[in-house]
Structure 1
Amino acid sequence: MKSILKLVCLAAVAFPASMPAQLVVDRQKYPDYDPTVRPDRSLLRYGSRPRLKGAPVPAESQRPDHVNNAATMYFPPIISQEGGSCGSASRIAYMFTHELNSFRHTNASLPENMYPTHFVWLLTYGNSGKDQFVQYVGVPSVKTYGGRGNSALFGYKEWDSQDYGWMTGYEKWHEAMFNRMWQPRSLPMNVGSEEGRNLLKNWLWNHNGDTDFACGGIAGIGVASACAQGGIPKTPANLEAGVVGQSYVRWWGTSVDHALTIVGYDDRLEFDLDGNGKAGEKEKDEVGAWIIANSWGGWANNGLIYCPYAYGFPAHSVTKEGGKEVRKQSGGWWQPELYYVRKNYRPLRTIKVKMDYSHRSEMLLSVGVATDPNATRPEKTIELHHFRWAGDGHNGDLNPAPAVPMLGRWADGKLHDEPMEFGYDLTDLCEGLDHSKPLKFFFNVDARTKSKIASRAKGSGHIYNVSIIDYEFDKDGVETPLELKSDDGVLPVPGGKITTVSGVVYGEQYTMPRNLQLKGTQLTWDAPQNCGHSVKQYNVYKDGVKISDTEKREQTIDGNGAYSVSAVFDSGIESQRLTVSTPVSVQTPNVAAKFNNNGFSIPDVFNDSYNNCTIEFWIKPQSLKDWNLQAGRWGQFMFHANGNGTFTAGWDAVGEKRVHAEGALKVGRWNHIAMVVNKSSFNVYVDGMGRGSVSGSPSFSGIGGFGNLNFWSGEDNGQDAVYDEIRIWDKSRTRYEILQAMNTEFSGSVLPQGLIAYYKGDVISIDGYPYPHDCVGAHNA
């Protein structure tokens, strides 16, 4: 039964066929431009972000009339970008660097506190971009990498090179793991309104009231860089501000081709934008400007420029009216991108690998884990970003793959075919698992090429060492080698096949609390299973931030969020937190979306293909007949209802590659449906219980590549039902994970890792049209 306090059904709405047209983007100059917007609605509430230090939040009325974060020690020196790396210059050299230094209160001008563009930039067409690097891989310092742009160690290349150098050395990769962000988010509204501008100013002033930081945040935008510059006019206000004659944007170009960074604002400045000789006319939006950092060295005002609030958009269009050129706004107002630091993050469990392979872009590396020491396959798997058919500059699509070894060509001009040593953080993979018990790990090298056509593979290689390192209780790490099953201790990696190394890692006996429950505003739990150590206290966390410690096994909570509890033992060692991966949230009145034989589309959610994926939702049918409640893409993925209550789902629209869950649906009854794809396995769960599975071999594996996920409309196939809590994950959720979270609404400022789309049932308005709201932010339907 679906657990909600109140169901408020929304009237059926008609959805437009497509979103507004996108800007013209010059991807030769800005190849990693990403139009995705992921609004962070928590920014609508000033001072709402979780804080570690508990310092008082200044009142919003105290916000100053000008802020320039580029003038602080936490912003790095202006960079002169190398090649077309403006995206990484803005997001890594500036935003990533500034946010970490502002949080850590460290000097961003030191090489050990700056972060290089090209560690990330070179993987632009390597199936892992900036967003993936800052979340899952991390970035080493400029000192470690050997340069702020290109590396003096690993070479001088561009993103489309086939042989650029890769970084080797476990300690270098381990350093990078500490420098991480959550998924990048966006301002919850654009800067075309006073409200939107105030939201951005609050972020630039003090991270929207987050007193853990030494100064304000900064934000990323994309623009048409062929702008015309003017000199700020002489007025009393501008004289007092000391900016007369400095450069400002008179107009932008017409094609988006460059990334910039907003580092501040100044409400004092006056402009004459209409050329009538009167500067500072407020009714014409001629007062105030954003301060923007470029990556072209001493350009404009020593690398900075003022942009009037009135021009806070990416481009101008040019038309002729009466024989004169007229410039108008193009592309809508900015909705800037923001980076959120994983505060005081440290990796608890990692993998260390030493291997080589002769044609690196043929490979996909992954790691899986199982709670059963005798398992033959993992329960959870992650693909390793940076190692997803990467290294040919063409997303692994070149056939045949270039004969380039993993390390590529370094600054010495030589191709390096010696083994590469690297590490990868497995903390998130192991999230929610009991580390005190044995876990079995699987390291996989899939050398069948991206096409999965084994005969195309030309490469080969070797694995020399694979080990799991546990830092949870020993900061120097406890290393457990996984056995290589070969006579000489070196495992061959043949092209065209999947090579797996597996082994069991035995955990430390510091057990977690048990049976965490939330009833109203009371959080309760049971003591850990006896492990030979005494519990000193319990730590309680909300959204990853500690809010209290107690010797009791209960806590009164206040407000929605992701709550977790750990045990602290007499030795000072803290256990894993219970339910970290499945936030417990206070039950609030629920909203669901009601459809009367109409439908909707989740745009672009399956542009990419996923080896592992979960689609789940609550559904209450209003009618049942063969082939209604239909969704998917014919011949690639499909699910639908049947008149007898059977729920049918699978890769085929018809045929054997489908699961038929009899009695899963009933008119007027809520049921939870979960479809889990694990490579060539397709499983259906109803109310958390397995109701069937089917193998897709040899025709089907994974899901995606077809763009929109369409929920069909019409009398015969449409959605005559109420939907709630629609969630799409980029991983295969276990039955336990499904059961644990299906009656919980995720809330708080940090959503669980792996969610690529999440609909609670509410509707938002975009350009006057209603859309089911995606809480992840990228796929408002």
Structure 2
Amino acid sequence: MKSILKLVCLAAVAFPASMPAQLVVDRQKYPDYDPTVRPDRSLLRYGSRPRLKGAPVPAESQRPDHVNNAATMYFPPIISQEGGSCGSASRIAYMFTHELNSFRHTNASLPENMYPTHFVWLLTYGNSGKDQFVQYVGVPSVKTYGGRGNSALFGYKEWDSQDYGWMTGYEKWHEAMFNRMWQPRSLPMNVGSEEGRNLLKNWLWNHNGDTDFACGGIAGIGVASACAQGGIPKTPANLEAGVVGQSYVRWWGTSVDHALTIVGYDDRIEFDLDGNGKAGEKEKDEVGAWIIANSWGGWANNGLIYCPYAYGFPAHSVTKEGGKEVRKQSGGWWQPELYYVRKNYRPLRTIKVKMDYSHRSEMLLSVGVATDPNATRPEKTIELHHFRWAGDGHNGDLNPAPAVPMLGRWADGKLHDEPMEFGYDLTDLCEGLDHSKPLKFFFNVDARTKSKIASRAKGSGHIYNVSIIDYEFDKDGVETPLELKSDDGVLPVPGGKITTVSGVVYGEQYTMPRNLQLKGTQLTWDAPQNCGHSVKQYNVYKDGVKISDTEKREQTIDGNGAYSVSAVFDSGIESQRLTVSTPVSVQTPNVAAKFNNNGFSIPDVFNDSYNNCTIEFWIKPQSLKDWNLQAGRWGQFMFHANGNGTFTAGWDAVGEKRVHAEGALKVGRWNHIAMVVNKSSFNVYVDGMGRGSVSGSPSFSGIGGFGNLNFWSGEDNGQDAVYDEIRIWDKSRTRYEILQAMNTEFSGSVLPQGLIAYYKGDVISIDGKPYLHDCVGAHNAPITNPDTKTYEEINSDKTWNTEVKGTISINNTRVTSPATVEAGQPALFSVTCPDAVKHLTWDAP
């Protein structure tokens, strides 16, 4: 066993966002310490997790008094970590492995069902940490990687090595793509209260009521590892529980340096924490313990230890009082980190690459896609995690970059300069695109170094193959090579430049219906373009919910909303949907949404990232206090109120990258708030007047990539206010545009361009659950708490203009057709018009 004092711990450990000043973090052992948490407020509602199987959820009152997930077949054997890989041992070897096996109902002791630490650990200082790997890359099995820690194939190395081995072989990378998580989240409350402890116990018991899993979840924490151990005292309760003499934490060390994993709890155990000879004094919090797994082999109770609920925090501080050492809590209570499985996930479209490069940490690899086959640049681009100036152990900052080829040094001791073959999942990149239509892909090798100073680049390389593989309809994959424009079929990759390989991929033809029209209450459409498959029926949706299926090409509709039609083919495959919306009506009378410490979530609105974006709304607070009226995602985007009426917004939840608009809010008064993101600039407008801006450089630019926009609920952070005219745009609105339209409600058959979500305050019911109605149609927002005492659609005292002021002319309003239109082929027309346009018709030439 390695000495505790020599461990280097680079764990991504979750702590409370606000910590007492006395917490000490050993940054030599833990240099990437980050106090950020990402609370999942949905856990406040037991049984709220979406389930695939629909099994009944056991009542919370049935929760047992003790659970130990480490005793199940879904938890892997205790690991002896190699080097300072405690973070990956906790999050990958334990949490990642356990969550996948619990969902899949598979045996976690088998090599094909365990996941290695070092595939992730070695990239700790490669600009892609554990959070990015579990979300975007995936992790191969221990069997595939060649070891539970270091790889018997790719060698023994540490995170700061400059030549550690990289995995090669497309099939290995493809296997990893199936093993994925959503963004790691945190418990919404810390474990210092009974409520917070119950939330964690529910997760440990049954994933907070998610019956898709075979057992409960586990959770990650961080501690000062130099703890003192004691033996659980002999009491009747402890004898009955069978834990007498087992090791428990008497106290933690003083500086945080290690990651551990909570695997269970036991409400039966009694302790004598104050040493008065009386164990189990409930008023002194001496009853109950967390069961914690370490990564030091047979340490303590064969790798596990009990931690009293009273010591559920990262460290103890030590002071002298009356000549005696006194230990007190340091660092606030744990707010553990959780992993959420991407259930039954499979990659639908991937890229396969074979290439080499002599100085790997000079490179940034990316992939883009465009819907126009003739495009010269992509519409959407992702950077490939694992290949972001990685491989020198210093985030690509060494100058010059080490002369280490992509594959690095393997277990045979040799530097391998042969080509590396790898794959990357493009499913999320292609989400929302019509896969039956041609798509143009771009693979980019940016070899200008991280500094973007081309002259620093010393490396060179070659591309031997780039291909796109489509698994959507053929599980064996349909591979389309992209052309390498080179005489010998090998494309040189010079240092200091960007090398791009592009090509068009023609998807499997399951085409959408055409010419969807809405006239009055009659929805009609034409059959899909002939694609070699027979149409079985059409599915009709309203606001994303299926309302009927029909063999006809017409449907009578009832009520306003966004109506979509898809074709279902004889093979059972469903096409993409074609959508049309009913004209948006002027509200008479105007309504607004009133929340009493409730909230709502705008789903998927920020799945994509936007360089330019505007979020605006009218708000009338019912109360103001620090951190209420809160919305956003910690560490990515956040806004909230303050007790003095200041409105705070920015990229940071805390820190300098925020704007503070003093006096922007007042109880009982309507105010218009607009937040405008223009790349690395963040501006706040109140009632159309600029109230501050902040630059995000170099850490932040644009907004998005985090999925839902959550308006939080609850007494502390929830929405205690009336909201109206909530608008989200995919462009940066100018102050003039904000002033011109903020007192007007939009209506008609044409909504302003760039509007991606629009809420006029009306509440609709979908499957018996309340939603804020999105007039654009794609993002109806579920209200967090369906109790009607906590929300209400009210007649508003706020009135609106019904016409946007502005000039409509041939200079600013036009319809653009494709350069060529072929008979029998679909043609896409585009429209440019100002906000003032409400209806638009045109004649064919």
TM-score (norm. length: structure 1): 0.74
Alpha-carbon offset, residue 420 of structure 1: 0.5
Alpha-carbon offset, residue 568 of structure 1: 3.9
Change (3 A) 1:452 1:218: same
Contact 2:581 2:776 in 1 (8 A): no
Alpha-carbon offset, residue 83 of structure 1: 0.7
Equivalent residue number for residue 334 of structure 1: 334
Change (3 A) 1:279 1:666: closer
What SS does structure 1 have at the residue aligned with 2:119? helix
Q: Structure 1: how far apart are the matches of 2:622 and 2:643?
A: 12
Contact 1:180 1:341 in 2 (8 A): yes
Contact 2:20 2:331 in 1 (8 A): no
Unaligned runs of 5+ in 1: none
Alpha-carbon offset, residue 720 of structure 1: 20
Alpha-carbon offset, residue 592 of structure 1: 11
Change (3 A) 1:578 1:702: same
Q: Which has the larger displacement, 585-594 or 343-352?
A: 585-594
1:649-704, Cα deviation, whole Å (9 max, x unpaired): 99999999999999999999999999999999999999999999999999999899
1:526-554, Cα deviation, whole Å (9 max, x unpaired): 98666554444678999999999998999
Contact 1:614 1:728 in 2 (8 A): yes
Change (3 A) 1:412 1:613: farther
Alpha-carbon offset, residue 23 of structure 1: 3.6
Change (3 A) 1:67 1:683: closer
Alpha-carbon offset, residue 727 of structure 1: 11
Change (3 A) 1:375 1:679: farther
Contact 2:106 2:113 in 1 (8 A): yes
Contact 1:563 1:583 in 2 (8 A): no
Alpha-carbon offset, residue 323 of structure 1: 1.1
Contact 2:252 2:315 in 1 (8 A): yes
Change (3 A) 1:448 1:666: farther
Contact 2:9 2:84 in 1 (8 A): no
Contact 2:563 2:581 in 1 (8 A): no
Contact 1:629 1:641 in 2 (8 A): yes
Change (3 A) 1:668 1:323: closer
Q: Structure 2: how far apart are the matches of 1:4 and 1:302?
A: 17
Change (3 A) 1:766 1:350: closer
Q: Which has the larger displacement, 631-640 or 138-147?
A: 631-640
What SS does structure 2 have at the residue aligned with 1:124? coil
Change (3 A) 1:243 1:540: farther
Change (3 A) 1:318 1:573: same
Q: Structure 1: how far apart are the matches of 2:187 and 2:474?
A: 39
Q: Which has the larger displacement, 322-331 or 25-34?
A: 25-34
Q: Structure 2: how far apart are the matches of 1:776 and 1:223?
A: 48
Alpha-carbon offset, residue 570 of structure 1: 1.4
Equivalent residue number for residue 435 of structure 1: 435
1:140-197, Cα deviation, whole Å (9 max, x unpaired): 0000000000000011100011110000000000000000000001111111111111
Contact 2:101 2:107 in 1 (8 A): yes
Change (3 A) 1:341 1:647: closer
Change (3 A) 1:210 1:736: farther
Change (3 A) 1:216 1:685: same
Alpha-carbon offset, residue 57 of structure 1: 0.8
Change (3 A) 1:153 1:764: farther
What SS does structure 2 have at the residue aligned with 1:466? strand
Change (3 A) 1:748 1:476: farther
Q: Which has the larger displacement, 604-613 or 120-129?
A: 604-613
Equivalent residue number for residue 631 of structure 1: 631
Once the two structures are superposed, the pairs formed by residues 313-462 of structure 1 within 5 Å of their partners are 313-462=313-462
What SS does structure 1 have at the residue aligned with 2:4? coil
Alpha-carbon offset, residue 508 of structure 1: 1.5
Percent identity reads: 100
Alpha-carbon offset, residue 26 of structure 1: 2.0
Alpha-carbon offset, residue 509 of structure 1: 1.6
Contact 1:37 1:778 in 2 (8 A): no
Q: Structure 2: how far apart are the matches of 1:5 and 1:228?
A: 14
Contact 2:8 2:85 in 1 (8 A): no
Change (3 A) 1:4 1:339: closer
Change (3 A) 1:322 1:128: same
Change (3 A) 1:213 1:698: closer
Alpha-carbon offset, residue 569 of structure 1: 2.1
Q: Which has the larger displacement, 675-684 or 248-257?
A: 675-684
Q: Which has the larger displacement, 211-220 or 764-773?
A: 764-773
What SS does structure 2 have at the residue aligned with 1:601? strand
Alpha-carbon offset, residue 10 of structure 1: 41
Once the two structures are superposed, the pairs formed by residues 666-681 of structure 1 within 5 Å of their partners are none
Contact 1:168 1:422 in 2 (8 A): yes
Contact 1:66 1:267 in 2 (8 A): yes
Q: Structure 1: how far apart are the matches of 2:774 and 2:225?
A: 31
Q: Which has the larger displacement, 513-522 or 315-324?
A: 513-522
Alpha-carbon offset, residue 396 of structure 1: 0.6
Change (3 A) 1:559 1:151: farther
Q: Which has the larger displacement, 722-731 or 10-19?
A: 10-19
Contact 2:227 2:252 in 1 (8 A): yes
Q: Which has the larger displacement, 306-315 or 754-763?
A: 754-763
Contact 1:112 1:141 in 2 (8 A): yes
Alpha-carbon offset, residue 24 of structure 1: 2.4
Change (3 A) 1:496 1:622: farther
Aligned-residue RMSD, C-alpha: 12.0
Alpha-carbon offset, residue 705 of structure 1: 18
Q: Which has the larger displacement, 631-640 or 499-508?
A: 631-640
Change (3 A) 1:410 1:534: same
What SS does structure 2 have at the residue aligned with 1:97? helix
Alpha-carbon offset, residue 572 of structure 1: 2.2
1:421-442, Cα deviation, whole Å (9 max, x unpaired): 0000000000001101111111
Contact 1:358 1:459 in 2 (8 A): yes
Q: Which has the larger displacement, 580-589 or 170-179?
A: 580-589
Change (3 A) 1:780 1:433: closer
Change (3 A) 1:132 1:579: farther
Equivalent residue number for residue 787 of structure 2: none
Contact 2:140 2:175 in 1 (8 A): yes
Q: Structure 2: how far apart are the matches of 1:26 and 1:721?
A: 43
Alpha-carbon offset, residue 58 of structure 1: 0.8
Alpha-carbon offset, residue 49 of structure 1: 0.9
Contact 1:380 1:733 in 2 (8 A): no
Contact 1:408 1:415 in 2 (8 A): yes
Alpha-carbon offset, residue 504 of structure 1: 0.6
Contact 2:10 2:84 in 1 (8 A): no
Alpha-carbon offset, residue 25 of structure 1: 1.9
**Bigger Cα Rg:** 2
Alpha-carbon offset, residue 574 of structure 1: 3.7
Unaligned runs of 5+ in 2: 782-845
